[in-house]
């Protein structure tokens, strides 16, 4: 066994947590920690948790129980195990975790992980440490960058957090409490990180933020840049052929961002635009600050800017006071929009949020029944969207080994998984593919062999997609 200490990070929840987990590993690298995929092999275990719905937090407590056995067995050995709980449950519950789970040595929130080396030293000295302040310092600036090797190992697609936190205070959501106020990272910092990723061979970057389209920063020209301008600057970075962003709030889709969808070939034709519900009464109670009709009008403007765009959304059923008529309004909105993919959830009262204090909570069986109806419709729409790509010619970025020997797995511009018979050398490349088969969750394609297509996904990728996409 090598002398290097090992850290095992388990990630729950959203893509921002995936990004944060990598940053934690980066923060520990200078301390001599290598990352491991084997829990049993770890000196330090970090559970990077999610608090968005009840089940997510409960999963963490049962995982702590399992790890405790391993930790106890190691207690008297030369390699004791340290157990840390990070992320949004850590932020929301803090001390409560220490009470409920004596095996935990360290609890720290999403705004403290740049201080991980120091926190670990304190925990190593025998203290049980809880760190859940929301500091104002720039954690990103304090974090070391991943080495080129590490970035490469993580793959040809990468996440990049550009904005964090939320000031919207939807009445169902814990994020404003767990992630704090809305903050955008400075443009120069974002561009630096993107260039580093591109230099290491990353081809596709997904910009992350709880409210990513509210992004704003001071550009090199001194002007205030929104997400649209930032996307233009990112598209100019050689090697970054594909850009995506998530998650957006309908109120923050500005004209510049819409124009970016029209003008930038690198910006993929896929938009995650949660609406949550279709009834104006419920939207009001949720404090979403828009109506169903305003959302529909927005969808029309987006489709006018980029006709082949695929829309995805999030939905909550059973928000307090939701009647059968309210729920039908959600179904109607879904029918009108036609989603390519979506996530839908039963409302889960989160402690400390205004929704949890409302009287009219919807019974569990009603929520389950509505969720089943909604999911049946959404899955029908997803299948219809996939089926519309049969025979289409599209660019695929190959990003992992395929399901079967001799195949590679990639993504379509619309984020669909595509399996293709292709040589391993094409890993990390974008190639033109014709879709021969479609399933509910993925497509099967064949390389067209058109070497003229061996280019970054560019203008003609879009023409091909439009020509074939409506087949």
Distance of CA 412 to the CA centre of its chain: 18
First to last CA, the chain: 57
- CB atoms near residue 346 (< 10 Å): 18
Q: Distance between CA 88 and CA 427 in Å, rounded?
A: 35
Whether a cis peptide bond, with omega within 30° of 0, leads into 191 is no
Identity of the residue, 139 or 179, whose beta carbon is nearer to ligand SF4 in the bound complex: 179
274 scored as a contact of ligand 5AD (CB under 6 A): yes
Q: Give least dist CB 174 to ligand SF4, A.
A: 6
Q: Give least dist CB 333 to ligand 5AD, A.
A: 14
With CB cut-offs between 5 and 8 Å by kind, which of ligand 5AD, ligand SF4, none does residue 316 bind?
ligand 5AD
Identity of the residue, 173 or 394, whose beta carbon is nearer to ligand 5AD in the bound complex: 173
With CB cut-offs between 5 and 8 Å by kind, which of ligand SF4, ligand 5AD, none does residue 50 bind?
ligand SF4
Per CB under 6 A, the segment of 198-206, 219-227, 237-245, 347-355 that binds ligand 5AD is 347-355
52 scored as a contact of ligand SF4 (CB under 6 A): yes
Q: Distance between CA 456 and CA 238 in Å, rounded?
A: 10
Distance of CA 102 to the CA centre of its chain: 31
* Position among 9, 17, 60, 334 found at the interface with ligand SF4 (CB under 6 A): 17
C-beta separation of 361 from 349 below 8 A: yes
Per CB under 6 A, the segment of 3-11, 35-43, 260-268, 341-349 that binds ligand 5AD is 341-349
Helix, strand, coil percent content, the chain, rounded in steps of 5: 40, 20, 35
179 scored as a contact of ligand SF4 (CB under 6 A): yes
* Position among 6, 7, 8, 14 found at the interface with ligand SF4 (CB under 6 A): 14
Cα 292 to Cα 125, 281, 296: the distances in Å are 55, 10, 6
Per CB under 6 A, the segment of 50-58, 327-335, 437-445, 455-463 that binds ligand SF4 is 50-58
Per CB under 6 A, the segment of 11-19, 196-204, 250-258, 310-318 that binds ligand SF4 is 11-19
Phi-psi region of 280 (alpha: psi -120 to 50; beta: other; left: phi over 0): alpha
217 scored as a contact of ligand SF4 (CB under 6 A): no
Identity of the residue, 157 or 348, whose beta carbon is nearer to ligand 5AD in the bound complex: 348
The first and second tokens of residue 304, run together, are 């006018």
DSSP letters of 243-307? EEEE---GGG--HHHHHHHHH-TTB-SEEE---B-S-HHHHHHTT--S-HHHHHHHHHHHHHH-T
CA dihedral over 111, 179, 144, 189, signed as positive or negative? negative
295 scored as a contact of ligand 5AD (CB under 6 A): no
- Closest-by-Cβ residue to ligand 5AD is 314
State the binding string over 148-177 for ligand SF4 (x if CB under 6 A, else -).
--------------------------xx--
Q: 141 exposed, middle or buried (CB, 10 Å; 0-12, 13-18, 19+)?
A: exposed
Q: Give least dist CB 257 to ligand SF4, A.
A: 22
Cα within 13 Å of Cα(416), Cβ side: 35
How many residues of this chain bind ligand 5AD (CB under 6 A)? 12
Q: Distance between CA 229 and CA 258 in Å, rounded?
A: 11
Identity of the residue, 179 or 389, whose beta carbon is nearer to ligand SF4 in the bound complex: 179
178 scored as a contact of ligand SF4 (CB under 6 A): yes
With CB cut-offs between 5 and 8 Å by kind, which of ligand SF4, ligand 5AD, none does residue 381 bind?
none
252 scored as a contact of ligand 5AD (CB under 6 A): no
Question: Where do contacts with ligand SF4 occur on this chain (CB under 6 A)?
Answer: 13-14, 16-17, 50-52, 87-88, 174-175, 178-179, 210
Question: Where do contacts with ligand 5AD occur on this chain (CB under 6 A)?
Answer: 52-53, 172-173, 274, 276, 314, 316, 345, 347-348, 350
């Amino acid at each position: 066994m090598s002398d290097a200490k090992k850290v095992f990070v388990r990630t729950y929840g959203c893509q921002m947590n995936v990004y944060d987990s990598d940053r934690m590993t980066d923060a520990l690298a200078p301390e001599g920690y290598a990352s491991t995929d084997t829990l049993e092999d770890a000196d330090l275990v970090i559970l990077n948790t999610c608090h968005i719905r009840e089940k997510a937090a409960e999963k963490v407590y049962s995982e702590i129980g399992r790890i405790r056995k391993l930790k106890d067995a190691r207690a008297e050995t030369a390699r004791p195990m340290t157990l840390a709980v990070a992320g949004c449950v850590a932020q929301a519950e803090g001390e409560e975790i220490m009470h409920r789970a004596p095996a935990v040595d360290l609890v720290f929130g999403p705004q403290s992980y740049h201080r991980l080396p120091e926190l670990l030293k304190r925990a190593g000295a025998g203290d049980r440490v809880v760190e859940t302040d929301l500091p104002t310092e720039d954690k990103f600036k304090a974090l070391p960058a991943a080495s080129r090797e590490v970035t490469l190992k993580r793959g040809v697609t990468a996440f990049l957090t550009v904005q964090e936190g939320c000031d919207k205070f939807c009445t169902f959501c814990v994020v404003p409490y767990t992630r704090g106020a809305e903050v955008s990272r400075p443009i120069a910092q974002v561009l630096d990180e993107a260039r580093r990723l591109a230099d290491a061979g990353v081809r596709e970057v997904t910009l992350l933020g709880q409210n990513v389209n509210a992004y704003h920063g001071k550009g090199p020209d001194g002007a205030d840049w929104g997400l649209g301008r930032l996307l233009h600057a990112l598209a100019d970075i050689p090697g970054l052929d594909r850009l995506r962003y998530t998650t957006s709030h309908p109120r923050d889709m500005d004209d510049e961002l819409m124009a970016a969808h029209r003008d930038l070939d690198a910006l993929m034709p896929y938009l995650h635009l949660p609406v949550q519900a279709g009834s104006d009464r419920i939207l009001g109670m949720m404090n979403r600050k828009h109506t169903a009709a305003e959302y529909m009008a927005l969808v029309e403007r987006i489709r006018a800017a980029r006709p082949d765009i695929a829309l995805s959304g999030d939905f909550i059923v059973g928000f307090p006071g939701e009647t059968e008529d309210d729920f039908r309004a959600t179904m109607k909105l879904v029918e009108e929009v036609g989603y390519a993919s979506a996530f839908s959830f039963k409302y889960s009262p989160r402690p400390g949020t205004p929704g949890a204090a409302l009287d009219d909570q919807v019974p569990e069986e009603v929520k389950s029944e509505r969720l089943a109806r909604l999911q049946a419709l959404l899955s029908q729409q997803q299948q219809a969207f996939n089926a519309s790509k049969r025979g289409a010619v599209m660019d695929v970025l190959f990003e992992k080994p395929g399901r079967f020997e001799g195949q590679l797995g990639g993504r379509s511009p619309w984020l669909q998984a595509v399996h293709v018979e292709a040589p391993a050398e094409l890993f990390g490349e974008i190639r033109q593919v014709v879709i021969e088969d479609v399933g509910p969750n993925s497509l099967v394609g064949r390389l067209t062999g058109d070497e003229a297509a061996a280019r970054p996904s560019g203008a003609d990728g879009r023409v091909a997609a439009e020509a074939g996409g409506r087949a």
